[in-house]
Structure 1
Amino acid sequence: MKIFKFGGASIKDAEGVKNITHILQSEGIENTTVVISAMGKNTNAFEEVIDAYYNKTDKLSEKLGIVEDFHKNLMKGLFDEKDTIYKEIDILLGELSWFLARNTSQRFNYVYDQIICFGELLSTKIVSAYLTKIGIENNWFDVRNYIKTDSNYRDAKVDWDLTQDIISNKLDASKLNITQGFIAANDTENTTTLGREGSDYTASIFAYCLDAENVTIWKDVPGVLNADPRVFEQTTLLEQISYEEAIEMAFYGASVIHPKTLQPLERKGIPLLVRSFINSKETGTNVTKGIRLVPFIPCFIVKKNQILVSISALDFSFMVENNISYIFQKLHEYQLKVNLIQNSALSFSVCIDNKFDNFDAFYNELKKEFKIEVQKEVDLYTVRHFDNKAIASIEVKGKSLLTQVNKETIQIVLGTN
């Protein structure tokens, strides 16, 4: 039993769809469940639809047209005009229009999940239909009928017992199955999502519930690299990573592996393979039990557009447990992801990710009781297994605002020079 996950970059055009069918034919199509993301940059495109709809701008029709045109133009390279897939896509787009017309909820996160899911539904319908067209039998299914969560929209928590029961009893794992990543449903059948880049996590959930032999994440890079090639000129392929090391890297923000993906795999000892859909014959990276890192070299992780916040008491008293506990409570309430913590007697500093745009509300509440200094648009560099050369290569990139070092990891917050 194998689980494959293909991201948006792998199906950004008709040639990409054809390429993944070649990969499936080469790797074997029996006993395989394939998890697929939205095509190309369509998650971003649907976020623009959401923004236009929620904020009642006059660009909603334009944004919807961009989404429809993208998919139908891509389909021209795969299908004949009379193929039934065009009707299926029109039905899905009609369901989206129905929601936009009938929805009365003002909850942004709820609205977000009900709209964003159409990216995955459209992509999987197209891939499944193309496989059928070229003679590859497959079973398309709606993942929302299998993965069940709570109602924490945009970052839902999986109900593992119910999900395990449904997948074990309903899914015929002997077939080639095609389904969606990132999305799920709650107990009222409303769509939920597992967090941005959650398609990797979806693959992990199916692997855990089906006791899969392995999970393969297909990327546009050779595997897991020791640095982001968009930021660093020289990178090295990591051939082997232990679960422990991969979880550490994911915790600090390594973008190739989703932070929640690894824990279910580690619990059952299921290997995670990260391979290139461009050069599919290459072995890529193997994440499993064993040696921590091969080769053992510094690994660089970058998180851009962070906010560095320094908090101190108005009366210059010590920042002690009750103050810090209150601050963490507010960080949690406003869904601000903390990526670095440093405290002294009089101040408490955090480097945070403002992905839900709640920072201003957090700031306005805390400034009533604390003195707060804020530096926006800073970059957080994390280096695992650092050496002096690695540190020097970071420090030349900007003005160091804060540095934190432990035995194996250094974190440096950089502002502009």
Structure 2
Amino acid sequence: MNVLKFGGTSVANPENIQKTLSVVSKTAENSKLLVVVSAFGGVTDLLLNAADLAGKRDDSYRTIFQEIETRHINAVKELIPVANQSAVLSAVKTRLNRLETLFEGAFMLSELSPKTADLIAGHGELLSSFIIAETAKINGLNAAFKDSRELVITSNAYGKASVDFKETAKRVSNFVATNKAQVNILPGFVASTLDGNTTTLGRGGSDYTAAILASLVNATELQIWTDVSGMYTANPRVVKQAFPIAHISYREAMELSHFGAKVIYPPTIQPVLEKGIPIWIKNTFSPDDIGTLVTDKPNGKNRPVKGISHIENIALITLEGSGMIGIPGVSKRFLEVFYQKNTNVIMITQASSEQSICVGVDQADADAIEIAINEAFELEIMRKHIEPVQVEKDLAILALVGDRMKSHQGLSGKMFSSLGKNNVNIRAIAQGASEKNISAVIAKTDVKKGLNILHEEFFEDRLKQLNLFITGVGNVGGKLLEQIKQQQSYLNEKLRLNIRVIALSNSRTMVFDEKGLDLDNWEQLLANGEKADPEAFLKRTTELNIRNSIFVDNTATEFISRKYSDYLRNSIGVVTCNKIACADDYENYEDLQRLSRKYGGSFLYETNVGAGLPIIDTLNNLVASGDEVHKIQAVLSGSLNFVFNNFDENSSFHDVVKQAQEEGYTEPDPKIDLSGVDVARKILILARESGYQLELSDIENESFLPEESLNTKDNDSFFASLKTHASSFNDLLANAKKNNCRLKYVAQFEEGKASVGLQQIPEGHPFYNLEGSDNIVLFYTNRYSQQPLIIKGAGAGADVTASGIFADIIRIGKN
């Protein structure tokens, strides 16, 4: 004999009931069945709500009763053919009339006793099981209805009755011996006292009914049919990558259920655990899915961590004080308060110094417990031996569960470090000596991120998800998106990285999609987005609170750069080609570095110098390995190198600069490049990365631009000034030709001093043959004292800049 239990969603409506009976019919081909059913989905809550209102003399209970009545009458009319409806409707209406009388009695007396509450609450199962049994008969099954109250006998502690297993076993044995039906359909949740008064089995009562029956009839297996395909590695509604666990132990199932997995309720496992009866958790709506098998000793691939679960709405109750140290009985007195208040302790931890003890409870119980504990320790608090109890609310518990965790080192470390890297603060931890469960208390707002972090760490074969929030989608940003799209398969397969673009913004609009934007259609999505607002962009990014988040700044905007600190404080990495932040006041530059270290959000800006060239990374490696930089010489402006490589007797300076702007080699405002400010920022950044505390004002800038050009207010007037002063630019070129030199804009740092300016470079110098928009950097260090370390290559252009940004993103992913 098998026992099947169907939950509220499986019998929520006539369509689902037919699916349930299809499963029953197929299973009944090979075995006699006891089928335990819950109330129609949501009905028990309606019953309890209506009962509460009636007991308070609130006649709005009548509206709820009408809804309950309508649902059941309509179900009969849809499930039972008209020719067979009369008897069924009569029985259902009789039951509903009794229910209405109970409500009226509570209303008239202005009282809802526990006994009456139990009697009312059980009506959902009594009605659903009768209707389903009658439908099964109509469908041709050899089926019968059996009232569980005739079998399951309990104490008369209404609301929290305990089962009389001896009497229940005797009744179940007699029933099985005399029963002839192939399928017996029974209400879950309800039971009765020896004298016939209705009781209920509490939370998870229908599961418990099924487990009791399975144990007493020595069932081949207990099948729990629900709306998911088994117990998952994590809540699939929160963690999209979660998957069903094929085989799990009783203990693991109990731990996961205790910590929020709603598939089964922990006490229901106990009766079948004692008999070693397997439990199958199956999906009514996908009956061919394998589901989860729960047994004593799982076989097959057995990960050390079987699942991750959580409980929300937790409050931490902490008692601490020097007066607790070495004083016997403090913990006993503390925990007795919870017992006296009938409050369940979900987790407990105590410092080895005995100076504090902390427990987690349901947040709804926190206020009453706070008052009770303060009263219990009133004398110690008055003498200041113990502090008044501390209560922290809006918390949640994350739990790793697995029988084999004890034999694997480092699981706790992986759990806590992965959470910490993403700024998920842990308020308390608990781990038993059996190590079947490692629990951490975190903020409720971090639950989604925390679950996804841990699932990625322990279940996703090291496939790391990076979530990008990109502002600036012009030349560089557009190329970056193109490169990300092109490399997605490679990154998945070779580097185990899954890069998603969650948000995009330009100066006009912005768009967010928590599931990831479609990179085939990003331009249209952005065009139809909401109005751009950097403050709102920051707020949305932090509120989404997604793991491994990276803010990517492809702009040259100072206002955007001022937001880096806010991103880093939220452990959101920052990748930028915007030089303003790193060339800002040294105090601000150092603050960003400090925030990055403190909150674990990477701050990478390789493209600040040399676009895609590994200049900063190389310099950092030199310094980190103990080398010392004495001198840097560099051509750091791809745009200026492009300009002076193309400026000759056959072209005007104005035309060459215009060409450089049009081809994307200069900033949108080309004066930033030609004034030397951009190069000054770059050599400043290199000096700072070398360990020197310089400011931008310390950089000597010998500008070749006339004052009129430097003082222009917009691009039109700037370009006009280049035509006006064409002769001065021609003179610069002629003088260089005369000396058999080429013009290069050079940055130099030596002995703590830096300068930038246009120089005539003689033939034979490393800079002389620098072509196109290339950059070159010469590092003179202790190790490279005679022959410098040279880095040379393309130093400007949207493609190479985008590739440098992309490389920084990948570098974060590989950490």
Q: Same fold (TM over 0.5)?
A: yes
Instruction: Show structure 1 runs of 5+ residues with no match.
Output: none
Report how far residue 318 of structure 1 moved: 3.3
- Give the Cα–Cα distance (whole angstroms) in 2 for the partners of residues 181 and 397 of structure 1: 44
Q: More deviation in 264-273 or 379-388?
A: 379-388
User: Does the 8 Å CA contact 1:334/1:359 hold for their aligned counterparts?
Assistant: no
- Give the Cα–Cα distance (whole angstroms) in 2 for the partners of residues 351 and 75 of structure 1: 45
- Correspondent of 2:391 among 358, 365, 374: 374
Q: Which has the higher contact order (CA 8 A, sep 6+)?
A: 1
Q: Is residue 74 of structure 2 the alignment partner of residue 90 of structure 1?
A: no
Change (3 A) 1:285 1:33: same
Larger radius of gyration: 2
Counterpart mapping for 1:14-413 below 5 A = 14-28=14-28, 30-81=31-82, 82-102=85-105, 106=111, 108-171=113-176, 172=178, 175=181, 176-291=183-298, 294-296=301-303, 298=305, 299-312=307-320, 316-318=323-325, 320-344=327-351, 345-353=354-362, 359-370=366-377, 371-385=388-402, 387=411, 390-391=415-416, 396=422, 398-406=424-432, 407-413=435-441
Report how far residue 151 of structure 1 moved: 2.5
User: Does the 8 Å CA contact 2:3/2:35 hold for their aligned counterparts?
Assistant: yes
Instruction: Show structure 2 runs of 5+ residues with no match.
Output: 378-387, 406-410, 447-815
- Give the Cα–Cα distance (whole angstroms) in 2 for the partners of residues 55 and 335 of structure 1: 24
- Map of 1:13 onto structure 2: 13
3-state SS of paired residue (2:375): coil
Change (3 A) 1:106 1:403: same
Higher helix share: 2
Change (3 A) 1:140 1:251: same
- Give the Cα–Cα distance (whole angstroms) in 2 for the partners of residues 287 and 240 of structure 1: 6
3-state SS of paired residue (2:391): strand
Change (3 A) 1:391 1:193: farther
Report how far residue 297 of structure 1 moved: 5.4
User: Does the 8 Å CA contact 1:105/1:111 hold for their aligned counterparts?
Assistant: no
User: Does the 8 Å CA contact 1:222/1:279 hold for their aligned counterparts?
Assistant: yes
User: Does the 8 Å CA contact 2:8/2:38 hold for their aligned counterparts?
Assistant: yes
User: Does the 8 Å CA contact 1:238/1:294 hold for their aligned counterparts?
Assistant: no
Cα deviations across residues 244-268 of structure 1 (Å, max 9, x unaligned)? 3323333444322211122211221
Report how far residue 183 of structure 1 moved: 1.6
- Give the Cα–Cα distance (whole angstroms) in 1 for the partners of residues 234 and 32 of structure 2: 34
User: Does the 8 Å CA contact 1:184/1:192 hold for their aligned counterparts?
Assistant: yes
User: Does the 8 Å CA contact 2:204/2:268 hold for their aligned counterparts?
Assistant: no
- Give the Cα–Cα distance (whole angstroms) in 2 for the partners of residues 393 and 285 of structure 1: 28
3-state SS of paired residue (2:368): helix
- Give the Cα–Cα distance (whole angstroms) in 2 for the partners of residues 197 and 347 of structure 1: 34
- Give the Cα–Cα distance (whole angstroms) in 2 for the partners of residues 94 and 270 of structure 1: 40
Amino acid across the alignment from 1:310: T
Cα RMSD of the aligned pairs, angstroms, is 2.5
Report how far residue 96 of structure 1 moved: 0.9
Report how far residue 225 of structure 1 moved: 1.1
Amino acid across the alignment from 1:266: L
Percent of pairs identical after alignment? 27
- Number of paired residues? 414
Amino acid across the alignment from 1:404: A
Q: More deviation in 131-140 or 165-174?
A: 165-174
Cα deviations across residues 372-400 of structure 1 (Å, max 9, x unaligned)? 11122311111124746655665648543
Report how far residue 105 of structure 1 moved: 9.0
- Correspondent of 1:414 among 437, 442, 445: 442
Report how far residue 122 of structure 1 moved: 1.0
User: Does the 8 Å CA contact 2:279/2:293 hold for their aligned counterparts?
Assistant: yes
Q: TM-score, normalised by structure 2?
A: 0.48
